[in-house]
Amino acid sequence: MQTKFIGNITTKRRQQLTTAALLVVSFAVSRVIFWHIGVRFDSSSLDWFWQYLDLNVLRHNLMSGIFHMHSQPPGFNLFLGLVLKCFPNSSGLCFHVVYMLLGFILYCSLYLLLRLSAFSRTWAFVCSFLFIVSPSSILYENWLFYTYPIAVLLVVASIALHRCQERRSTCYAGALLFIIAIVCLTRSAFHLVFILACVALVVIPREIRNRKVVSCAFATVCLVGTLYLKNLALFGFFGSSSWMGMNMFNIAQHSVGTNVVNELVRLGSIPSVASQPPFSAIDKYSKIDSPQLAPPGIDPLTTKTKASGTPNYNHADYVRIAQEYRQASSYIIRKNPRLYLSSVFDAWCLYCQPSWHNDFLKRNNQAMSVWLSSLSCLRTQGWIDLRPFKRWAFGAEGEKDLYPVTSLLFLPSIIVFACAGAAARISRFARKGDSSGVAFIFMTFTVIYVAVLGNAFEYGENNRFRVETDPLIFLLGAIIARDAYSYAMQRMFRRHANKSVDAYVSPGADTG
Q: What is the pLDDT of residues 137-151, one digit of tens each?
A: 999 999 999 999 999
Helix (H) or strand (E) holding 384: strand 383-385
Q: Where are the domains of the chain?
A: 347-485
**Predicted local distance difference test score (pLDDT) of residue 363:** 86
* CB atoms near residue 223 (< 10 Å): 16
The Cα–Cα gap between 308 and 50 comes to 12
Pairing of strands 402-404, 383-385: antiparallel
Q: What percent of the chain has pLDDT over 70?
A: 87
Query: Residue 295's pLDDT band (boundaries 50, 70, 90)?
Result: low
The DSSP 8-state label assigned to residue 53 in this structure reads: P
Cα–Cα distance for residue pair 139/467, rounded to 1 Å: 11
Residue 280 near residue 250 (C-beta atoms within 8 A): no
Q: What 8-state DSSP symbol labels residue 268?
A: T
Q: pLDDT tens, 432-458?
A: 777 778 899 999 999 999 999 999 999
Instruction: Taking residues 465-486, report their average pLDDT.
Output: 93
Asked if pLDDT for residue 504 goes beyond 60, the answer is no
Average pLDDT over residues 342-368: 87
Q: If you average pLDDT over residues 407-426, what whole number do you get? A: 87
Non-local (6+) Cβ contacts of 251 within 8 A are 329, 340, 343, 344, 347, 456, 457, 458, 459
Average pLDDT over the chain, rounded to whole? 86
- The pLDDT of residue 67 is 93
Which residues contact residue 290 at a Cβ distance below 8 angstroms, ignoring those fewer than 6 apart? Answer: 317, 320, 321, 324
**pLDDT tens for each residue of 362-389:** 888 888 887 777 766 655 556 677 777 7
- 233: how many CB neighbours lie within 10 A of its CB? 8
Q: Are 395 and 367 in contact (CB under 8 A)?
A: no
- Give 400 or 323, the one with higher predicted confidence: 323
Tell me the pLDDT band of 186, cut-offs 50, 70 and 90.
very high
CA distance 228 to 184: 11
Please work out, in degrees rounded to the nearest 5, the angle formed at the alpha carbon of residue 68 by the alpha carbons of 66 and 72: 65
Least confident piece of the model among 208-222, 340-354, 355-369, 396-410? 396-410
C-alpha 133/C-alpha 493 separation (Å) is 36
What type of residue sits at position 104?
F
* Rg, C-alpha atoms of the chain: 26
Say if residues 431 and 113 touch (Cβ distance below 8 Å): no
pLDDT computed for residue 69 by the predictor: 93
For the ranges 105-114, 318-327, 379-388, which has the lowest average pLDDT?
Answer: 379-388
288 versus 304: the higher-pLDDT residue is: 304
pLDDT of 5 higher than 50? no
| 507: Cβ contacts below 8 Å, ≥ 6 apart | none
Cα–Cα distance for residue pair 169/208, rounded to 1 Å: 7
CA distance 158 to 112: 11
Going by pLDDT thresholds of 50, 70 and 90, the confidence category of residue 507 is low
Q: How confident is the model at residue 227 (pLDDT cuts 50, 70, 90)?
A: very high
> What pLDDT is attached to residue 66?
93
Contacts for 399-405 with beta carbons within 8 Å, 24 or more apart? 399/346, 400/349, 403/349, 403/352, 404/379, 404/380, 405/381
Mean pLDDT of 19-41: 94
Residue 370, judged by CB atoms within 10 A of its CB (0-12, 13-18, 19+), counts as exposed
403 has which bridge partners?
Answer: 384
- Specify the pTM: 0.91
In this prediction, residue 360 has a pLDDT band, given cuts at 50, 70 and 90, of: confident
The pLDDT of residue 282? 87
Q: What is the pLDDT of residue 510?
A: 46
